[in-house]
Structure 1
Amino acid sequence: MLRQIIFPVLLGIAGCGVLIWLGLWQIDRLAWKEDILANINARLAADPQPFADDVTEADDEYTRVTLSGAPTGQELQVLVSGTAAGTGYRVISRFETEDGSAILLDQGLLPLDGKAAEPLVAPMQVIGTVLWPDDQNSSTPDPDLSENIWFARNVVTMAEALDTRPFMVVATATTPADPRLTPLPITTADIKNDHFEYAVTWFLLAIVWAVMSLFLILRTLRPKDA
């Protein structure tokens, strides 16, 4: 009889062990992600610093900055939905700073029916956050260049298209404000952190596996009808 239950017992222990390990791994990932989010929140809560164009992704992403200059009127429009301002086009502009650098400026959301409106081309003060977004994945369509409709932000591609430095400042506010646009400031609410839900899922699966293994063991031990 003992020999008959060796396999289901080993199967139950192995399965539960793997699922519990996956749950614990997600708990570790949760702590790692929360540390990252705390660091980002600290940067977003800091006072904005004067912009310097020697920023690097490793040291300066999510740093708040102030800068002066003017958009040139050249812009890329990224179709987005689910933002705080609704569905529309993120406007990524070529922005020339007072010292002559050209950078990418995410000015905010343009309503779907606003594509024909003229951009504000005027000197402005900007408060924003330095970012290197790459929203593309393998299923992202190529941009429709004839209609100026993009489907993801990609710093490298957009910098080449607008002939700018390969990083972006996401505007929190501009003075004066472009009346077409609603700024979309960066918050950590936009950064996914599903590790707790994944951990709960793995632990629940471990419980289910244990119950199924126990059922299999009891069924194996049940005397067979003559």
Structure 2
Amino acid sequence: MARYLIPLIFGLAGIAVLVSLGLWQVQRLAWKEGVLADIEARIAAEPVALPGELDPQADRYLPVEVRGRLGDEALRVLVSQKHVGAGYRVISALDTGGRRILLDRGFIKVAEDIPAAPEGQVTVRGNVHWPDDRNSSTPENDLEGNTWFARDLDQMAGVLNTEPLMVVARDTSFSDAPVTPLPVDTDNIPNDHLEYAVTWFGLAAIWAVMSGYFLWRMRKTAKGEN
């Protein structure tokens, strides 16, 4: 029996480690779902007036209501919508009278023309957002061709002469067709903990089968030798 002890301990230890990693991912899943629920509640809360001072962490997704005049110039940020295809996010300046901010008006298909800005004051309900669109493979923005690949706030603010502050529209007091609001949500926040948990539990099951098979082969070989 001594010859089976080390493989048995090794097999049980491996199963224990893999199962514990799976349980840890289950705990992380519950934590992440709670975080996402809090973010969704914050996004959908009653909007407030745009504060004078904003913190990128504490005020992320803050629902606000802003009034002002839309600038005539519009920037186009290349995006893709599921079941719709390629298009642009339309970014314009919104002059509230006391400050100028960036307004993400929403999505328009590539083939459509961006409508002219409405005359007079408009009201927009949306969420303050600091986008994180850029990664190591994102191309540089084509300013001359007005094709942007990321909502780089500082660069956009320089072009449109605004603060590097963006509100993403959810509802507007004006018809912006064919532009449709593309409000912030939690869809792009990764939550892969369930997949990780399934992977670890699956590896634990495979480890158990392999360990059992190895012990069975050892026993069969020992019987053959006898």
- 1:209 and 2:220 equivalent? no
Pick the aligned partner of 1:169 from 167, 170, 192: 167
In the alignment, what sits opposite 1:17?
16
TM-fit CA distance, 1:186: 2.1
Q: Aligned pairs, how many?
A: 223
Relative to structure 1, the CA distance from residue 73 to residue 216 in structure 2 (aligned partners, 3 Å threshold; closer, same or farther) is farther
SS at 1:217's partner residue? Answer: helix
Unaligned residue ranges in structure 2 (runs of 5+): none
CA contact (8 A) 2:118 2:174 kept: no
SS at 1:9's partner residue? Answer: helix
Q: Which moved more, 1:84-93 or 1:191-200?
A: 84-93
TM-fit CA distance, 1:44: 2.3
In structure 2, distance between residues paired with 1:177 and 1:158: 24
TM-fit CA distance, 1:176: 1.5
SS at 1:57's partner residue? Answer: coil
Report the TM-score when normalising by structure 2. 0.86
Q: How does 1:1-226 map to 2 (within 5 A)?
A: 2-3=2-3, 6=6, 8-82=7-81, 86-99=85-98, 101-114=99-112, 116-122=113-119, 123-223=121-221, 225=224
For 1:64-123, what per-residue CA distance to the aligned partner results, in whole angstroms no more than 9, with x for missing partners?
A: 111011221233211111358653101122222222x12121100011112x54531533
Aligned-residue sequence identity (percent) comes to 47
CA contact (8 A) 1:159 1:165 kept: yes
In structure 2, distance between residues paired with 1:45 and 1:14: 47
In structure 2, distance between residues paired with 1:112 and 1:179: 14
For 2:170, give the aligned amino acid. T
CA contact (8 A) 1:85 1:109 kept: no
Relative to structure 1, the CA distance from residue 16 to residue 185 in structure 2 (aligned partners, 3 Å threshold; closer, same or farther) is same
SS at 2:221's partner residue? Answer: coil
In structure 2, distance between residues paired with 1:132 and 1:52: 15
CA RMSD of aligned residues (A): 2.4
For 1:9-43, what per-residue CA distance to the aligned partner results, in whole angstroms no more than 9, with x for missing partners?
A: 34423432332232222222212212211211221
TM-fit CA distance, 1:162: 3.3
SS at 1:72's partner residue? Answer: strand
TM-fit CA distance, 1:190: 4.2
TM-fit CA distance, 1:168: 1.5
CA contact (8 A) 1:131 1:168 kept: yes
SS at 2:168's partner residue? Answer: strand
Q: Which moved more, 1:34-43 or 1:118-127?
A: 118-127
